[in-house]
């Protein structure tokens, strides 16, 4: 556990921009960079009744990374800072709150064995941490709560497949009391020259929908990967597609038995730049529509959440075509894929949003990292941006 040692930089430039926006769209409340020693990246945010958790990694000494959980109130005041892991690299990449109101972290560690393993930790109100050992490198990327345990998804090397040392999709079910393994399953799509890396998961009425990437070493092309399974991880359908010439999928969400996936896609026949990519599927796996957002340069979508009225809130980054800086971005689409709102926010460096979450009160929390010196960052520091949308649930 670590004590609080944070310098706060309030980005007043953000507030000036808010006055230019109509009250019919999301309003930016504040943006802040939290300066800490060394390098930090925040990969996931989870809202709670009294604020939110920001989850990621911190390397304060330059020698090893620790998983980090920062608890904030609704106004961005840091309540607690906790670090987890051992002597080597430990990352927290995802978080969810279970039926007991415990906050569960999901990630990877190589502090407790000779290679990387799935890593789990509970941070509040009950605390424990564990890892799931297995031969080969294994990295958990996402998880969800179910009635009798947790479902954890990621990618791993199969020690019993002598012809394939590449990564395969790997689902594990554990209990809630200590993270003991109940079962594990391999997902489809792996081949001798292909990696399959699940990166997101959503629990739906009849199972799970998983999003991620397939990388083909023969062609050098990455593709979006979406698979639906039942509750025992048996495949119902799967899709592997590139959008344009290549792509990756990061997070998936369900609304009214339809599935929305966010990532990015690019065209190798043009300048090779990527665009934010949003795809909608039916519950049967039929592609209903696809949308892109971006200009010249690299533009990535990493996170998606859906409000009760069906609006999609998407976080990521865009490249400023005038300055070539990387700016955090918030996009809002309606359920039919029509753009409602977009706002890019950045300084003189890289400002990236990896995750966002929304609440029933209309709060929008966006997290990532910043290295913009004019925003108060040094090497790479915690970036948090707060919006409000009073029309979110109307």
For the stretch 277-327, pLDDT in tens is: 999 999 999 999 999 999 788 999 999 999 999 999 999 999 988 888 999
CA–CA gap between residue 345 and residue 276 (Å, rounded): 16
**Cis ω for the linkage preceding 61 (within 30 of 0):** no
Residues 189, 195, 200: CA angle, nearest 5 degrees = 75
pLDDT at position 164: 67
pLDDT at position 13: 40
Residues 212, 251, 299: CA angle, nearest 5 degrees = 90
Instruction: Share the mean pLDDT of the chain.
Output: 90
Spans in the chain with pLDDT lower than 50: 1-3, 12-23
Centre a 10 Å sphere on the Cβ of residue 259 and count the other Cβ atoms it contains: 21
Please check whether residue 141 is in contact with residue 153, taking contact to mean a CB–CB distance below 8 angstroms.
yes
Residue whose pair of structure tokens reads 């507030």 in the numeric block: 15
Q: What percent of the chain has pLDDT over 90?
A: 76
DSSP-derived pairing of the beta strands 117-124 and 128-132: antiparallel
Please check whether residue 358 is in contact with residue 364, taking contact to mean a CB–CB distance below 8 angstroms.
yes
**Domains with residue ranges and CATH for the chain:** 71-352 (2.120.10.10)
DSSP string, 31-94: EEEEE-SSEEEEEEEEEETTEEEEEEEEESSSS--EEEEEEEETTS-EEEEEEE--SS-EEEEE
pLDDT at position 18: 36
pLDDT at position 181: 96
pLDDT at position 162: 66
List Cα–Cα distances, 309 to 118, 161, 286, in angstroms.
Answer: 36, 46, 22
- Give the pLDDT confidence of 41-71 residue by residue, as tens digits: 999 999 999 999 999 999 988 888 999 999 9
pLDDT at position 159: 81
pLDDT at position 33: 95
Global confidence as pTM = 0.92
Which run of H or E residues covers position 348?
none
pLDDT at position 6: 59
Residues 37, 39, 43: CA angle, nearest 5 degrees = 125
């Amino acid at each position: 556990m670590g004590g609080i040692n944070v310098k706060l930089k309030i980005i007043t430039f953000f507030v000036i921009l808010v006055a230019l926006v109509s009250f019919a769209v999301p309003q930016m409340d504040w943006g802040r960079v939290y300066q800490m020693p060394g390098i930090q990246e925040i990969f996931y945010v989870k809202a709670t009744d009294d604020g939110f958790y920001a989850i990621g990694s911190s390397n304060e000494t330059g020698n090893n990374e620790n998983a980090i959980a920062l608890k904030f109130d609704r106004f961005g005041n840091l309540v607690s800072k906790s670090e987890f892991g051992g002597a080597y690299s430990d990352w927290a990449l995802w978080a969810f709150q279970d039926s007991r109101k415990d906050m569960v972290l999901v990630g990877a560690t190589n502090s407790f064995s000779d290679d990387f393993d799935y890593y789990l930790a509970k941070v509040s109100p009950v605390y424990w941490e564990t890892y799931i050992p297995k031969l080969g490198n294994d990295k958990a990327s996402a998880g969800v709560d179910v009635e009798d345990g947790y479902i954890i998804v990621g990618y791993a090397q199969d020690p019993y497949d002598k012809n394939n040392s590449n990564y395969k999709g790997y689902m594990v079910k554990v209990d809630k009391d200590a993270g003991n393994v109940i079962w594990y399953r391999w997902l489809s799509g792996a081949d001798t020259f292909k990696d399959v890396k699940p990166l997101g998961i959503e629990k739906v009425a009849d199972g799970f929908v998983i999003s991620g990437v397939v990388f083909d070493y023969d062609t050098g092309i990455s593709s979006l990967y979406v698979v639906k399974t039942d509750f025992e991880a048996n495949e119902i359908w799967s899709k592997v597609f590139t959008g344009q010439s290549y792509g990756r999928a990061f997070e998936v969400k369900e609304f009214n038995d339809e599935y929305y996936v966010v990532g990015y896609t690019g065209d190798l026949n043009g300048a090779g730049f990527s665009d934010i990519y949003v795809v909608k599927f039916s519950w049967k796996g039929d592609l209903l529509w696809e949308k892109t957002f971006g200009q010249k340069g690299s533009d990535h979508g990493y996170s998606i959440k859906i409000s009760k009225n069906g609006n999609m809130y998407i976080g990521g980054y865009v490249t400023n075509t005038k300055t070539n800086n990387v700016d955090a971005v918030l996009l809002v689409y309606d359920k039919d894929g029509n753009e409602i709102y977009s706002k890019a926010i950045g300084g003189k460096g890289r400002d990236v949003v990896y995750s966002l979450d929304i609440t029933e009160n209309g709060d929008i929390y966006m997290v990532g990292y910043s290295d913009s010196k004019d925003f108060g960052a040094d090497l790479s520091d915690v970036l948090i941006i707060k919006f409000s949308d009073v029309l979110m649930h109307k």
